[in-house]
A and B are shown apart, each in its own frame.
Chain A
Amino acid sequence: MKTIIGESKRYLEIDLTSKTWTEFSPPDEDLHDYIGGKGLGLKLIHDRLGARLAEVDPLGPNNILAFMMGVFIGTGAPCSARFAGVTKSPLTGIMVSSSCGGSFGMACKTAGWDGVLVKGKAAVPTVVKLDEFGVLFEDAGDLWGMETGSAQAKLVDNPRKGALVIGPAGENGVLYSVIRSGGRYLGRGGMGTVMGAKNLKAIVATGMSYTIVPAKPEKFKLVNAKAKKMINRNEFVQAYRAYGTNFGVNSGVDTGYAPVRNFRDRTDERCRNLSGEAMVERYHTTHASCAPCTVLCGHKGTYPDGIKRHIPEYETIGLWGGNLMNFDPDIIGVWNDRLNELGIDTISCGATVGWAMEAAEKGLRPSALEFGKTENITALLDDIAYRRGEGVDLALGTKRLAQKYGGLDFAAQVKGLEMAAYDPRAGWGQGLNYAIANRGGCHLNAYPIAMEAIFKFIPQYSKLSKVSWVAFMEDLFSATNSTQTCQFTIFGYILEPPVAKYTPKPLLKLAMTYLPDVAQLVLDWSALSSLVAAITGRNLGMRGFLKCGRRTHVLERHMNVLCGVTSADDTLPGRFLNESQTKHKDLSVVPIGPMVQAYYRKKGYDEHGVPRPQLLRKLHITP
């Protein structure tokens, strides 16, 4: 096998209209500034579309779909099965990026390609096949119309291969459809819809033609061993390992972030039926991870009907469970499988169904959907994917529905993207995070609910330190998503070094609440920057690494502003700003206005949320 030192720096640009492909290498400064993954994907799209971004129709031939492998894949670094997808979203009309595991990333990277840009639109349904020598365009034939699992099984008939496939939902233009890679998904913002609009059923990569060798193998060996140790002994990683992402269900009921009855109630004791602890007992779960993975949040188990299924993740459990007043874990497992086969985002779809139930209750929109009624849901999922009956409407997502029928106040979405399963009234930082997150109602932008309600480092109902932590964590997450490793590893990387581990927890809490900027100065995430340095040979340093994240984040905001985002979009639905009375004992609404303004100042945006020209120049985004 041939070897690649660090990165191949070779990227594919595929034009589906003319069925041609070219190879290019981004300049070294861009690799230095944006690392790879999400950051570089945004930069490449920005370079190609730039000021035209506003006019580009997300479902038109001019939109670019970028799959970026990042720098970790194939090296054996912790959780290095992940790659990024970046495009302009048809659901929100702004930029969307997503991180995904599964087999495609490894296959593409070891075929010698660090990234793939897809533009144009094929005349007939097409499958793109790539290997170390280049690209082949094939007619999709029978594959078009197939569900994700069967299409993938047909395409991936060799252990060297990995595929990205869409399901019927992507083909039929459901605005929140996903792309599947192995058992993982590029989930949010309708990436599958973009692929479907390009008449592209699948991309199949044949890899294992190259081995990836770090630029500094000795350093890599040391840092990698240390990094894995940190992840392995972290107590939050242990919780993910034992109960999956559903370990958050019980604390959601206690602290009031559980989405209950379309985000009306904040808590319901019956949600405990759906907790990770209950699932382990009920389904005798074992791990089901992206390979190679060190966190192991994914679980599989045997359901009462004897079928082995992937246990739904927390967001799916939240939005299809309490959110619809359904407390039967078995049926959620069945729906989860069906949604995955059809290629539908479980978060957006769950929130949309929740909205439709409440709208029907309030008489805004006639529907057979009712809270607590599960019999008609299974058929509804197919209706959405094939756009029949009620599915025609529901395939549009909550924002468009609310604009059509009214009820924007209880549509759990920001900028068109449905919120994940965390009620922002339970953590004001989470509220700020939803309001300003670049892709819309995204929980993974800075994930402050973890610090507020799950780990309880900072107070839930307070503005103290929230702006600072959101601004810091989103930069760190952006940088992490540019290396393309799992965001869950961050807990290990920043909580395990001695300074965080041996400071008594009350002291740590005080420092994080009252002196967040000082706490951020002493925190240590050098494991990540050292891994990047060892693999690529580019020594960014800890601060430099964070700066790459900030650059990525500001570039994404800059592109969103070009797409038409204004400060009026940086807010929450009325429900979270006005309805303090819920079933949870604590009264709370999110004081979003002042927090957003403080956030703008912290990030260097003007009062309208536009990044200032001097900030763009300082970060080398504009010359």
Chain B
Amino acid sequence: MSMTISEACTGCTACVKVCPVNAISGVRKGRHVIDASRCIECGACGRVCPANAVYDDKNKLVERRMPRATWAKPVFDLTHCISCEACGQKCPTQCIGFSKGDPGGLNVWPSLVEPAKCVSCGYCAFYCPMDCITIVTPTAKGEGDTV
């Protein structure tokens, strides 16, 4: 299944630029289409769409959410982290980086080094073997709602 673009599309190409897997094609000012075999259902296209033209696999409108700072992001609870690096390995936008934990040791701790690149796909949380990652929408107070 994948996201779909409705007739409301104005061909602004905002979605093409944000798609992390190059699944969207189309000409400027023409209706765009999403390649279902490439789409990872992150919904980034819908969140940037000014025409409210993107629907998810349950045919529900993906609401525009700008600026990108308000998008859901992974929050790392490092208490149980085992430094397997699965989150970074599987991140389609390479926005997760690792810093050496203890000097001389093997441990590296993940963090969101490039939050501007994160598309809230949730691959990091899916592959985390220790359930250390939750995808949280930031709120105005600086706290978060778990998605």
List A residues at the B interface (Cβ < 8 Å): 1-2, 76, 78-79, 131, 158-160, 206, 208-209, 228, 232, 241-242, 280, 285-289, 291-294, 296, 299
CB pair B84 A159 closer than 8 Å: no
> When the two chains form the complex, which single residue of A131, A228, A291 contacts B86, counting CB atoms closer than 8 Å?
A291
Q: What is the bound-complex CA distance between A280 and B127, given in angstroms?
A: 26
* B86 lies within 8 A of A159 (CB): no
B64 to chain A, nearest CB (A): 22
Given contacts A158-B38, A159-B90, A286-B98, 16 further A-B contacts (CB under 8 A): A1-B41, A1-B57, A131-B37, A158-B40, A209-B1, A241-B82, A280-B106, A286-B83, A287-B106, A287-B108, A289-B84, A291-B89, A291-B90, A293-B84, A293-B86, A296-B83
Contact assessment for B38 and A160 in the assembled complex, using a CB-CB cutoff below 8 Å:
yes
Verify B106–A286 contact, CB threshold 8 A. Answer: yes
Please give, as numbers and ranges, the residues of chain B lying within 8 Å of A287 by CB-CB distance.
Answer: 82-85, 106, 108
Chain A nearest CB, measured from B36 CB (Å): 9
Chain B, Cβ-Cβ closest to A221? B131
Interface presence of B128 (CB below 8 A)? yes
Give the number of residue pairs across the A-B interface with Cβ within 8 Å. Answer: 71
Closest residue to A78 on the B side, CB-wise? B129
Pair A242/B106 contact, Cβ less than 8 Å:
yes
Roughly how many angstroms separate A289 CA and B82 CA in the complex, as a whole number?
11
For this complex, 17 residue pairs linking A to B, each with C-beta atoms less than 8 Å apart, are: A131-B37, A158-B21, A159-B21, A159-B90, A159-B92, A159-B123, A232-B82, A285-B106, A286-B108, A287-B85, A291-B90, A291-B127, A292-B84, A292-B128, A293-B129, A296-B83, A299-B106
How far does the Cβ of A313 sit from chain B's closest Cβ, in whole Å?
16
B66 at the interface (CB under 8 A from A): no
Q: In the complex the two chains form, is A296's CB within 8 Å of B84's CB?
A: yes
Interface core residue of B37, B83, B106 (most chain A CB under 10 Å):
B106
- Measured between alpha carbons, how far is A159 from B37 in the docked complex, in Å? 11
**Contact check: which of B1, B40, B98 meets A159 at CB < 8 Å?**
B40
Distance to closest chain B CB from A181 (angstroms): 14
Instruction: Tell me the B residues contacting A by CB distance below 8 Å.
Output: 1, 21, 37-38, 40-41, 57, 82-86, 89-90, 92, 98, 106, 108, 123, 127-131
Residues of A within 8 A of B38 (CB): 158, 160
- Chain A: CB-nearest residue to B84: A289
For A241, the chain B residues whose CB sits under 8 A away are 82, 106
Chain A residues contacting B86 (CB-CB under 8 Å) are 289, 291-293
Query: Measured between C-beta atoms, what is the minimum distance from A377 to chain B in Å?
Result: 30
Closest approach, in angstroms, between the C-beta of A183 and any C-beta of chain B? 9
Give B107's nearest chain A residue, CB to CB: A286
Does B123 lie within 8 Å of A296, measured CB to CB? no
Chain B residues whose CB sits within 8 angstroms of the CB of A206 once the complex forms: 37
Contact residues in B for A208 (Cβ distance below 8 Å): 40-41
Given A159-B90, A232-B82, A287-B85; A294-B1 close (CB under 8 Å)? no
* B89: nearest chain-A partner, CB-CB: A291
Chain A positions within 8 Å of B123 at CB level: 159
Query: With A287-B83, A289-B84 in contact, is A228–B130 under 8 Å at CB?
Result: yes
User: Does B82 contact A294, Cβ atoms closer than 8 Å?
Assistant: yes
8 tightest Cβ-Cβ pairs between the two chains A and B: A291-B86, A292-B129, A159-B92, A291-B127, A289-B84, A294-B129, A292-B127, A158-B38
- Closest Cβ neighbor of B23 among chain A residues: A158
A209: chain B residues at CB < 8 Å are 1
Closest to A290 in B: B86
Complexed CA–CA distance, A330 and B67 (Å): 49
Give Cα A256–Cα B8 distance, bound, in whole angstroms: 73
Of all chain B residues, the one with the shortest Cβ separation from A131 is B37
The chain A residue with its CB closest to the CB of B127 is A291
How far is it, in angstroms, between the C-alpha of A502 and the C-alpha of B85 when the chains are bound?
Answer: 33
Question: Residue among A2, A158, A209 with the most chain B CB within 10 A?
Answer: A158
Q: Could you say which residues of chain A place their CB within 8 Å of the CB of B83?
A: 286-287, 296
| B40, B57, B89: the one within 8 Å of A160 (CB) | B40
Chain A residues whose C-beta falls within 8 Å of the C-beta of B106 in the assembled complex: 241-242, 280, 285-287, 299
A200 to chain B, nearest CB (A): 21
Chain B contacts of A288 at CB under 8 A? 85
Distance between Cα atoms of A292 and B123 in the complex (Å)? 11
What residues of B have a CB within 8 angstroms of the CB of A296 in the complex? Answer: 82-84
For B40, B106, B129, the residue with the greatest tally of chain A CB atoms inside 10 Å of its CB is: B129
